[in-house]
Amino acid sequence: MQLFLAPMEGLLDFVLRDVLTRVGGADRCVSEFIRVSGTLLPERVFLRLMPELTNGSRTLAGVPVRAQLLGSDPVSMAENAAFLATLGPEGIDLNFGCPARTVNRHGGGASMLQAPESIACLVAAVRRAVPGHLPVSAKMRLGFDDRGLMRECAQAMTENGACELVVHARTKADGYRPPAYWEQIPLIREAVGPHVPIIANGEIWSVQDALRCREQSGCADLMLGRGSVADPGLALAIRAALAQGTPSSDAVPAVLPPALPWAQMLPHMQRFWVLVCEHLTPNQRGGRLKQWLNLLRRRYPEAETAYQQVRVLTDQNAITQWLEQQLAAHAAGQHA
């Protein structure tokens, strides 16, 4: 089994990739999408969204990062993919799943799932433009308004050069509302054949979710998104459960204690804050920590208290001091 960290614009950026891959359990990450809109992007844009390119396309913990491109024009996408290839990415992923209105309004992301022929043209152009050894993969949803074209879209990707598919098991119209329809993924596997690896994605928040997703999708490999942000030890917990003999989802409690206790989370949170202060603008910093704490509330009772305390802080020094106090308090408690 392989576990991947999902690309999530404005959330799972290089800072969080660094922190989550230090926790462990992930085999590969995918960058936030790099938007291509008719011009050849300068090197600084690629490096800003994926600074791991300066570290052999790996996080500082050594986990490979694949660069994701989003666009709808085959010529422009091919030109940018060719330039990106010179920067040494682990591979190039193509986004056919973003549901954002601004993206879809300009013909990118999930909106392309309405036109399999356009997908075929774009994937083929990118595949021709980059060296043969460089993997080209794709991430898709089950469709735009419905699932009527999901098989044709998947075939358009794989028959024109995509060596791997991640399937977010919802349509664009479904957004991020539960449930994810993992049981639809075998229909895509049947359409593309057994030679193309399929990775299941969507609504995996717990070990039980992961096992149910594997059972219903038939996929050994999973991509984790918000579930890993809310529970940074989720990948480790999934691996631990499978190491015990691949139990069925019925054999696992719906709620398990986090694999990473809150006291062990705090040093990771401090590193996150240091990186945020180093790399993000002052007006972004506090919001990023609050955003993460907001998701952590889903798994950690302690995060609720932390969120309420931090949400009223606006000064960077005050937040830094708060974090230091939290670490000191837990250290004192452990030595008491």
- Read off the tokens for 3: 């576990």
| Exposed/middle/buried for residue 333 (C-beta within 10 Å: 0-12, 13-18, 19+) | exposed
Q: Are 185 and 169 in contact (CB under 8 A)?
A: yes
- Residue from 29, 98, 121, 219 carrying the catalytic annotation: 98
Q: Is CATH 1.20.225.30 what the domain over 262-335 is classified as, yes or no?
A: yes
CATH of domain 3-251: 3.20.20.70
CATH 1.20.225.30 residue ranges for the chain: 262-335
Which value, to the nearest 10 degrees, does the dihedral of the CA atoms of residues 5, 226, 148, 71 take? -60
DSSP tally for the chain: helices H, then strands E: 14, 8
Q: Catalytic: 98?
A: yes
List beta partners, residue 198. Answer: 165
Instruction: Provide mean pLDDT across the span 7-28.
Output: 95
Strand pairing report for 165-168 and 198-201:
parallel
Segment 78-135, tens digit of pLDDT: 999 999 999 999 999 999 999 988 888 888 999 999 999 999 999 999 999 999 999 9
Angle at 176 between CA 116 and CA 171, to 5 degrees: 20
Looking at this protein, which amino acid is placed at residue 316? Q
**Separation between Cα atoms, residue 151 and residue 143, nearest integer Å:** 9
Q: Could you tell me the pTM of the whole model?
A: 0.95
Name the DSSP letter for residue 96.
Answer: E
Segment 136-183, tens digit of pLDDT: 999 999 999 999 999 999 999 999 999 999 999 999 999 999 999 999
